[in-house]
Structure 1
Amino acid sequence: MRRRSFLAGLAAAGAAAGVRPVGAATATPSARFPDGFVWGCSTSSYQIEGAAQADGRGPSIWDTFSRTPGKVARGETGDVACDHYNRWPEDLDLMARAGMRAYRFSIAWPRVLPEGTGAVNTRGLDFYDRLVDGMLARGIAPWACLYHWDLPQALQDRGGWGSRDIAGWFADYALVVAARLGDRVRHWAMLNEPSVVSIFGHGLGGHAPGLTGRASCMAALHHQNLAQGTALKAMRAAGSNWRLGTVLSLQPTWPAAGGGPEDRKAAALWDAVWNRACLDPLLLGGYPDLLAADFAPLLRPGDLEAIRQPIDFLGVNYYSRMHQRIDPGGLVGTGFGSAPEGTRHTGMGWPVEPDGLVEQLLELRERYGNPEVYVTENGASYQDAPGRDGRVEDSERIAFIRGHLDAAARAIAQGANLKGWFVWTLLDNFEWAEGYGPRFGLVEVDRQTLERRPKASYDWYAAAVRANAAPPG
């Protein structure tokens, strides 16, 4: 998920291009997915857990950021969120009733290590024990993500992702969690969207910890890559039965509609920052040439070898392409421009471009050796409204997901090594700098009572899971 200026930029670009919202799903039958295709959903700890001060949890950078006036819409915080910390059995029941057989959840680092290092908070690990056992009892495979943005504030006070020391801190934390849960959790993702953490949290300032500047952004990128590689190596040495990977936000980057040669250069540069700065060192062993000057002061002997570790799977979060134009005031001299004329947009102004998913998956096949890939996030926010019976009939969300599942099937037919799909997300949740305004969930959450009410998209997705294909909308 993204920050407010990103949303505003896309919405303005969409308005300039005269775009229209996405319509209802078509009734064209969809191809079946291969046998063994994994179906599930993804969430993140800060966005749903709540219980911000329960059972010894320490503060995270998002606790600090969301309590800083003006940083989050309407001054909202994740203090309560969806209260998943207490309501997890109900949420797992919702997954099980939909037939989901995998759940990508994230571990809250400050719940396990309140100071980021040192003393382990066993009560925090007890929660994840209960959660994992609950998944297994319902036939749901746990896919644990070790970092989804809620860095302990204590580590931020020691430099956070701006410090090289965080590589060791993160690896130590990974081993603590794996030692407790690794007898039952087989799939482990190291990070979620390091490019977003770096760009919006350390470059543009709209996400926690609210830092700005190109140098800060690049340092956070490099140190996340280094931490990821250090943890991968440590976990590979500690356990032979685990499947290890990471999760990246990958979005093909095009010049803004109507742009000229300068905008093509802008697209190439933004692509290097958003996509290649994470993909290339992990899978190819080096940073993009366009960013060589940025990373040269950060690189030390052995860094690239430490980062390039084998992975068993790559998680891909895909929402749309990105359309870039030259902007001297931008973080790296680029800015968001218009998508092609006629492009449909979500309720948040994001382009609806399922073909971009085909483009991305086929590029992973051609350029990066066709790694085993799972779409670990895909979904959309719309202005949900209840029907006459009070149920949200979210045909636009159904159309969005169905279009992207159809794109995934086309990519598989062309040789993409896609093995599974995790919808974003189960519940309407805390959406970072946007607070509780955007709604991505298959299940509505009443903000007063926290009652869960499945939307039409929940039943539709359940039908897709059971059919191993996207049914008509």
Structure 2
Amino acid sequence: MLKLTRADFPEGFLFGAATSSYQIEGHAQGGAGRTHWDDFADTPGNVAGAQNGAIACDHLNRWEADLDLLRDGNFDVYRFSTSWARVMPEGRGAANPEGLDFYDRLVDGLLDRGLKPAATLYHWELPSALADLGGWRNRDIAGWFADFTHTIMSRIGDRLWSAAPINEPWCVGFMSHFMGQHAPGLRDIRATARAMHHVLLAHGRATEVMRDLGMSNLGAVCNFEYAVPADAGPEAKKAAATYDGYYNRFFLSGLMNRTYPDDVLEGLGPHMPANWQDDMDLIGQRLDWLGLNYYTRKLIAAAPGPWPGLEEVPGPLPKTQVGWEIYPEGLYAFLKRVHDGYTRGLPLYVTENGMAWDDRLVNGAVRDDRRVAYLDAHLAQVARAAADGVPVKGYFTWSLLDNYEWNVGYDPRFGIVHVDYATQARTPKSSYLALQRALAR
């Protein structure tokens, strides 16, 4: 049982659950085009078990029952993403009527159930045809993304409660182009610098398009990790600051301050696209809210070699199934830091927070007491921030359903609802039932 309930949060505080298109829909259905995640998964060694999102949770065909779970769980908002390749199979040109119809039905289904639709345009499923043209390395992607934005939001934008262009720019830029852990799987600093800038440029263009369509309540969603020096020495302190720079401050500073941190430009500056400074007004245009995705902290040590000259080391705190340290205080720290140093009164939302565990279905039930404790501890930090004057307005747990967890496949389970991937049966876990009770009005 959760210690906190809806009554412990400010009046009007919203509670939601989040998912993403490729992770749950079943991308091999409904006329969707191929994505770079399909290509990445087809390459040996990239994804556990060479698994992909072809069927995933079959949400494309089971969306009505999944929306019933949201309604019956007493949630207020559903944060979902649209698939670029489902809407425009080649990334450009003709739209897929089946894809547009699906998101049309989804939004109407949410409204019919009294739920607020919160859309994210892009959650990492780049059409392969655009990857062939350089993907996020190519400046033209900002225009392609603007066209996609116009196509999908001309259809559903009039009924959305909120919208954000891109989920977790760090994952799109750095994790995918420098670390090689996500599609397209590059390890190239020049590609990284360009992708990190172009993802924000695409954010700016999409925001322009949505404003021109008359949409409101537009925001951005960034992910944050609490970086801690692995020891007391100056080298570790500098390494942790560098990690904080390219993970936390680069995108936040671009969006809110129209500049990039000097310590990050020490490494990326020589590789940035020409005249990138000219794009900063477009990138830093007005937002209506900012979303924070938070899961863990990292211990950072110095390491030999070129920039960034660091490495992650194991920490002493309890860990989730995927090895992430559980550090709820980091969520409070980021809410306070973002408000005090960057957004200065802009509404904030915790747009993702949750944990993976090897949940098992036993006698028709899933007891995920560790997840209940995780959610309780993090919700307490959100309530603490609100009590301290931070304008945090909502909290979304990740994720509604167990799903395809990218390069680690289907083994990690983040959901508050268990999915049997063989039968597609849904079973609400103890965490779902705890939230259901806590959010009852």
More deviation in 26-35 or 281-290?
26-35
Post-superposition Cα deviations, 1:183-231, rounded to whole Å, max 9, x if no partner, equal 2113111110010121221111111011112222121100001111121
* TM-score normalized with structure 1 length: 0.89
Contact 1:31–1:406 (CA under 8 A) maintained in structure 2: no
Whichever residue aligns with residue 85 of structure 1, its letter is L
Whichever residue aligns with residue 312 of structure 1, its letter is D
Contact 1:30–1:406 (CA under 8 A) maintained in structure 2: no
RCO comparison, higher one (Cα < 8 Å, 6+): 1
Distance 1:30 1:54, change over 3 A: closer
Where in structure 2 are there 5+ consecutive unaligned residues? Answer: none
Aligned to 1:372: 347
Matched, 1:358 2:332: yes
Aligned to 1:252: 226
Matched, 1:39 2:15: yes
Where in structure 1 are there 5+ consecutive unaligned residues? Answer: 1-24, 468-473
> In structure 2, which of residues 83, 108, 124 is the aligned counterpart of residue 108 of structure 1?
83
Aligned to 2:392: 418
Matched, 1:232 2:207: yes
SS of match in other structure, 1:252: strand
Q: How does 1:424-443 map to 2 (within 5 A)?
A: 424-443=398-417
Post-superposition Cα deviations, 1:347-369, rounded to whole Å, max 9, x if no partner, equal 22211111001110000121011
More deviation in 207-216 or 108-117?
207-216
Aligned to 2:238: 265
Post-superposition Cα deviations, 1:132-170, rounded to whole Å, max 9, x if no partner, equal 111111111110100000011111101100011111111
Whichever residue aligns with residue 403 of structure 2, its letter is N
Q: How does 1:10-49 map to 2 (within 5 A)?
A: 32-49=8-25
**CA shift for structure 1 position 463:** 1.6
Distance 1:49 1:222, change over 3 A: same
Distance 1:26 1:449, change over 3 A: closer
Q: How does 1:28-427 map to 2 (within 5 A)?
A: 32-50=8-26, 52-239=27-214, 241-256=215-230, 258-293=231-266, 294-295=268-269, 297-300=272-275, 302-328=278-304, 332-339=308-315, 341=316, 343-368=317-342, 369-387=344-362, 389-427=363-401
Contact 2:36–2:183 (CA under 8 A) maintained in structure 1: yes
Contact 1:198–1:217 (CA under 8 A) maintained in structure 2: yes
Contact 2:201–2:282 (CA under 8 A) maintained in structure 1: yes
SS of match in other structure, 1:384: coil
Whichever residue aligns with residue 266 of structure 1, its letter is A
Contact 2:120–2:166 (CA under 8 A) maintained in structure 1: yes
Distance 1:65 1:416, change over 3 A: same
Distance 1:282 1:390, change over 3 A: same
**CA shift for structure 1 position 450:** 0.7
Q: 1:349, 1:30 → 2: CA distance?
A: 30
**CA shift for structure 1 position 329:** 5.1
Q: 1:268, 1:286 → 2: CA distance?
A: 17
Contact 1:245–1:312 (CA under 8 A) maintained in structure 2: yes
Whichever residue aligns with residue 128 of structure 1, its letter is Y
Q: 1:432, 1:203 → 2: CA distance?
A: 17
Whichever residue aligns with residue 280 of structure 1, its letter is S
Contact 2:2–2:438 (CA under 8 A) maintained in structure 1: no
**CA shift for structure 1 position 28:** 8.1
**CA shift for structure 1 position 31:** 7.0
* TM-score normalized with structure 2 length: 0.95
Whichever residue aligns with residue 293 of structure 2, its letter is N
Post-superposition Cα deviations, 1:40-88, rounded to whole Å, max 9, x if no partner, equal 10000000000x2333211011111112221110121110000000000
Q: 1:145, 1:48 → 2: CA distance?
A: 14
Post-superposition Cα deviations, 1:259-307, rounded to whole Å, max 9, x if no partner, equal 4110100011111100111000110110001122423642525211111
* Identity level (%): 45
Whichever residue aligns with residue 406 of structure 2, its letter is W
Distance 1:30 1:450, change over 3 A: closer
**CA shift for structure 1 position 390:** 3.0
Contact 2:6–2:440 (CA under 8 A) maintained in structure 1: no
Contact 2:356–2:414 (CA under 8 A) maintained in structure 1: yes
Contact 2:2–2:372 (CA under 8 A) maintained in structure 1: no
Contact 2:297–2:324 (CA under 8 A) maintained in structure 1: no
SS of match in other structure, 1:251: strand
Q: 2:305, 2:115 → 1: CA distance?
A: 47
Post-superposition Cα deviations, 1:419-442, rounded to whole Å, max 9, x if no partner, equal 001100011100000100000101
Post-superposition Cα deviations, 1:2-21, rounded to whole Å, max 9, x if no partner, equal xxxxxxxxxxxxxxxxxxxx
Contact 1:364–1:371 (CA under 8 A) maintained in structure 2: no
Whichever residue aligns with residue 322 of structure 2, its letter is M
Whichever residue aligns with residue 314 of structure 1, its letter is L
Whichever residue aligns with residue 15 of structure 2, its letter is W
SS of match in other structure, 2:304: coil
**CA shift for structure 1 position 26:** 8.2
Contact 2:222–2:251 (CA under 8 A) maintained in structure 1: yes
SS of match in other structure, 1:182: helix
Whichever residue aligns with residue 227 of structure 1, its letter is A
SS of match in other structure, 2:124: coil
Q: 1:34, 1:445 → 2: CA distance?
A: 33
Q: 1:181, 1:26 → 2: CA distance?
A: 35
Number of aligned positions between the proteins: 437
